Amino acid sequence: MTDLSIPTEVVTPEPLTVPPPGKQGKPSSLWSDAWHELRRKPSFIISAAIILLMVVMAIFPQLFTSVNPRECSLINSIQPPSSEHWFGTDLQGCDYYARTIYGARTSVSIGVVVTFFATLVAVTLGSLSGYKGGYLDTVISRITDIWFAIPLILAGIVFLNALGSKGFWNVCAVLIVFGWPTMLRLMRSSVLSVRELDYIDAARALGASDWRIITRHVLPNGITPVIVYATITVGVIIAVEATLSFLNVGLQLPAISWGLMISVAQNRILASPHLLFFPGIFLSVTVFAFILMGDALRDALDPKLR
């Protein structure tokens, strides 16, 4: 679960340890500049606080509730919010507050796992494609075109429907397999613009290997737009998972997920709006935090906008 901290970790000034040759001796890098700006931005602070809260909720739901979300008694079926059940109860009489809290784990972990692996694929193939060019670039770009032709939700519907069993890892697998094309294009075009810069020529003239040039020079300088987009992607994937669960092709009971909670409750929403309201709010606020964080990072990291 260490990768849960990706969005907050990237803004620390640590990347200073690999400064590009041209920047040596300068007091500040792009990242430390960005960090200085971010610390004062309200949108960054708000989104970081929400993300932190959701991550803690995902790892230690016991901190927020002592009620077992799977301990239900039908006698309590569909009660409105009360002092005993803050968010009311669902059809099975389960405590809705506890279920909403435990739902954070599913959403956050799917968002992070899918984004992590999709970004890994995108960064690897995208930098190879952009740096090497030629035949390899053509092949990778055409494959990306093909993947691009299938919208994520449609892919989820067809393949999860065909898979039959729809556990956590099945949903992750389908979203990873279809989640990387946009980031790959971003990475490729970013590498293409970095590749032509003088310090890459200098490194090559000094006899550096391709591997060294890519990992030490191209990646640190070209990865910023991908990191921004990956932050937003965590939010998007969380929303996609919830949508697929809502459409009955995502996670199935007894899994606890915000999308699934709304899906199960959908015929009773008009009579008992709390069944929609609480998971809906948690879901939207989490997605909102990741998108806001991505926006804040982009503003801070794009020197052109300063």
Partner 1 sequence: MTSYIIRRVGQFVLVFFAATFLIFAMVFAIPGDPIRALAGEKPMPESLRQSLIQQYHLDEPLLAQYWHYVTGLIQGDLGESFNQRPVADIIKEAFPKTLRLATYAFIIEMVIGVTAGVYAGIRKDKFLDSLVKVSTVAVISVPIFVLGFVAQLVIGVRLGWLPVTAGNPPSLYGYLLPALVLASVSLAYVARLTRSSVVENLRADYVRTAKAKGLSQRRVIGVHTFRNSLIPVITFLAIDLGALMSGAIVTERIFNIPGLGRAVYEATISQEGAVVVGIVTVLVVIYAVANLVVDILYAVLDPRIRYD
Q: Is 266 in the site for partner 1 (CB under 8 A)?
A: yes
CB of 92 to partner 1, least distance (A): 20
Q: How far is the CB of 191 from partner 1 (least distance, A)?
A: 21
CB 31 within 8 A of CB 16: yes
CB 156 within 8 A of CB 249: yes
The CA distances from residue 204 to 129, 190, 200, 300, in Å, are: 18, 19, 6, 31
Q: Which is nearer to partner 1, 97 or 278 (CB)?
A: 278
DSSP 214: I
Q: Which is nearer to partner 1, 219 or 249 (CB)?
A: 249
Residue 49 binding partner 1, by CB under 8 A: no
* CA angle at 76 for the pair 72 and 81, rounded to the nearest 5°: 105
Asked if residue 306 binds partner 1 (CB under 8 A), the reply is: no
Place of tokens 């990347």: 15
DSSP output for 133-147: -HHHHHHHHHHHHHH
145 binds partner 1 (CB under 8 A): yes
Please answer whether residues 148 and 232 qualify as being in contact, where contact means their C-beta atoms are separated by less than 8 angstroms.
no
Site for partner 1 in 13-32 (CB under 8 A): none
Binding mask 124-143 for partner 1 (x = CB under 8 A): ------------------x-
What minimum distance in Å lies between the beta carbon of 59 and partner 1?
23
For partner 1, which stretch binds (CB under 8 A), given 1-9, 65-73, 90-98, 279-287? 279-287
Q: Residue 167 carries which DSSP code?
A: -
Site string for partner 1, 189-228 (x = CB under 8 A): ----------------------------------------
Phi-psi region of 226 (alpha: psi -120 to 50; beta: other; left: phi over 0): alpha
The CA-CA-CA angle for residues 168, 229, 135, to 5°, reads 95
By CB under 8 A, name the binding residues for partner 1: 142, 145-147, 149-154, 157-159, 161-164, 235, 239, 242-243, 246-249, 259, 262, 266, 269-270, 273, 276, 280, 283-285, 287-288, 291-292, 295
